[in-house]
Amino acid sequence: MSKEEWGKKVRAELKDKDPQSLLWKTPEGIDIKPLYTLEDLKDIADISSYPGCFPYLRGPRATMYTHRPWTLRQYAGFSTAEESNKFYRDNLKAGQHGLSVAFDLPTHRGYDSDHPRVVGDVGKAGVAIDTVEDMKLLFKDIPLDKVSVSMTMNGAVIPIMAAFIVAAEEQGVAPAQLKGTMQNDILKEFMVRNTYIYPPEPSMRLVADIMEYTSQHMPDFNSISVSGYHMHEAGATAVEELAFTLADGLEYVRTALKRGLPIDVFAPRLSFFFGIGMNFFMEIAKLRAARVLWAEMMASFKPQNPQSLMLRTHCQTSGVSLAAQDPLNNIVRTTLEALSAVLGGTQSLHTDSYDEAVGLPTPKSARVARNTQLILAEETGIPHVIDPLGGSYYVEALTHSLKTHAKALIDEVEALGGMTKAILEGMPKLRIEESAAKRQVRIDLGQETIVGVNKYTLEEPPLEILEIDASEVREGQIKRLEYIKKRRDNKQVEQLLEKLIQAAKTDVNVMPLAIEAMRARATVGEVSNALEKAFYRYEAPTRTIHGIYGALYEAERPEEIAAFHKRIQAFEKRVGQKPHMMVAKLGQDGHERGAKIIASAFGDLGFQVDMGPLFQTPEEAVKTAVQKKVHVLGLSSQAAGHLVLVPQVLKTLKETGGNDILVVCGGVIPSQDYEDLYAQGVAAIFGPGTPLLKAAENILTLLEKIYKIP
């Protein structure tokens, strides 16, 4: 059948509509046709390549999973080193191949557990590590010369890396025997995740220090994992995640070369980390396109070792795609995302647990997540064939389109002078936030279906969740810190920290001194503070986007927006100003996607909105809200600190005369915690999946009652 004959058949079935009417434009701006044929592949040269051969379209290894499957990792950290260690050992016994460590937020931000700014954060969203002793407990009875360890750490990467090396040393394992990966990707922190400590330039210097140290002393350890995952979770499209991640990688390569490291010394140990979402074929194509683009980019540096050209990647299924509503659906979502990663050729994989939209995974949900990978690896037969979708008309054409679009965006970054300069100008962050706002509109309008959230909804009893007593964890960490400080040679520690400060102020690599300091039982906070004295603690400017959510929503449902604007006008006429809301992020949680979208959308809908700076204490947030005379203080929670931080806000409001300010909460808050928060004075709680116009209407209704507006 010819193309013309097929077109006639389509028009007949669709009552004379043109086949072009079936085109789907993806969020990336790529037009997807309903049919792909051999003709779509005629200008694509890469598809005839073999796995393990340049440009590695079909995988970095010639045998891929037929020799051995991907490494099964589960990213986890549970409050204390002891609890996390038990979880790791249980998982290793149950078939997990490597460890992936999640640290708590104070550790990420370089604070010890006894610091006054981290009262509600200790042991939340990961394991608290203050000293080498904590690190030794974390890996007790786990042979570090045999088990590969991946660590997600960026801001406090120097003391954490040093503590890991010393813990292994005291286990009898030399640095050269260690296998694994340190994320060490600070650039994406300034874009999306925000667990930075120092400014971009000195932060890049510390990245180079680790790359240099590992190239000399840890030949089997990946010194950096360039992470697109957090961009994906912040709302980036596949094109943006792909382009900005590879542009970050290019910046790290240039940084290492400026340090004098030969390309073939460090490039084979670079790795990448991508998020895998629900657009099944797009995610497969993303991994394939990433390998080709990276190989072509690296070829310009003329490496002699073919491994310098290979993009090796870890993948994690998407946390953002998990829904709090009807959460067992998340098992299906995670399975499909894991399948995308495998068909795309990942080297290792983490699968999210179905309950992570509301809290930390329980042992049961973690087992389901782990077994999802084991089923794919051992029951499906998929690993027996290399790149089984290779040659698919659609997959090959989509891979080529993604590569072309991403290359154009990389060229934009290069025109700005590279990724560091682009980040300082705010370009990548702005693009990702715009994409996140556009997606929120599609979800709120029902243009993008999320089963159980905006379609096919039902009421479900709350899930059993893993409860962490942060105050108990913090007290235990403080006792351990006090014990260590009494037993160590404090004078020696002070001398080593002073040497570290001086090294940081010069071009001396700080890693050897940091290792000495941690060996003498300096703390993570003390080493971080020493580097802070040489540099300074960075505060990124707070910016929000405007006009996207409101314009797109109004274009589809103008009557709803018009009706809401009338209510805003009535409020302004009665009160003398628009409803005024401040959106605050409390504690050390830097995940700001939700807060930024709320601030942007509410501003478009007619509220006067202030966005508080990141990392505020409850006292600081209240002080700002009272000074600005806001009507509403919106608290965005992501890292399970709400039961500590929100009551502190309410208490401080009463003490400072801010009783008239409504406190509302949003984000990841388990439904079983709602009653407690309401009893303490929270006016409204908006869980994941709440349409933003509905949230705005509910808050405006509360204000209308207070100000007696009919």
3-class state of residue 239 by DSSP = helix
Q: Is 229 assigned a catalytic role?
A: yes
Selecting among 580, 591, 631, 642, the annotated active-site residue is 591
Q: Which two tokens stand for residue 320?
A: 């953002």
The single residue listed with the structure tokens 């990389």 is 410
What is the phi/psi pair of residue 598, to 5°?
Answer: -60, -50
What is the phi/psi pair of residue 602, to 5°?
Answer: -65, -35
Selecting among 188, 429, 585, 596, the annotated active-site residue is 585
Distances (CA, A) of 310 to 29, 186, 270, 402, 403: 28, 22, 9, 18, 16
Between strands 313-317 and 580-585, the pairing is: unpaired
Q: Is 111 assigned a catalytic role?
A: no
- β-pair partners for 225: 271
E strand or H helix at 606: none
Q: Is 565 assigned a catalytic role?
A: no
How far apart are the C-alpha atoms of 124 and 126, rounded to whole Å?
Answer: 5
Selecting among 36, 40, 50, 75, the annotated active-site residue is 75
Secondary structure letter of residue 464 according to DSSP: P
Q: Which two tokens stand for residue 98?
A: 């490597």
Considering only CA atoms, give the Rg of the chain: 26
Number of helical (H) and strand (E) elements in the chain, helices listed first? 27, 16
606: buried, middle or exposed (CB in 10 Å: 19+, 13-18, 0-12)? buried
Q: Is 75 assigned a catalytic role?
A: yes
How far apart are the C-alpha atoms of 567 and 560, rounded to whole Å?
Answer: 11
CA of residue 126 relative to chain centroid, distance: 14
Q: Is 499 assigned a catalytic role?
A: no
Length of the chain: 710
CB count in 10 Å sphere of residue 539: 11
Selecting among 97, 124, 188, 230, the annotated active-site residue is 230
How far apart are the C-alpha atoms of 629 and 614, rounded to whole Å?
Answer: 20
Contact predicate 663/683, CB 8 Å = yes
How far apart are the C-alpha atoms of 372 and 314, rounded to whole Å?
Answer: 16
CA of residue 675 relative to chain centroid, distance: 30
Selecting among 104, 589, 610, 673, the annotated active-site residue is 589
Selecting among 229, 252, 549, 553, the annotated active-site residue is 229
How far apart are the C-alpha atoms of 515 and 417, rounded to whole Å?
Answer: 34
E strand or H helix at 182: strand 180-182
Contact predicate 447/96, CB 8 Å = no
CB count in 10 Å sphere of residue 93: 8
The catalytic residues are: 75, 229-230, 585, 589, 591
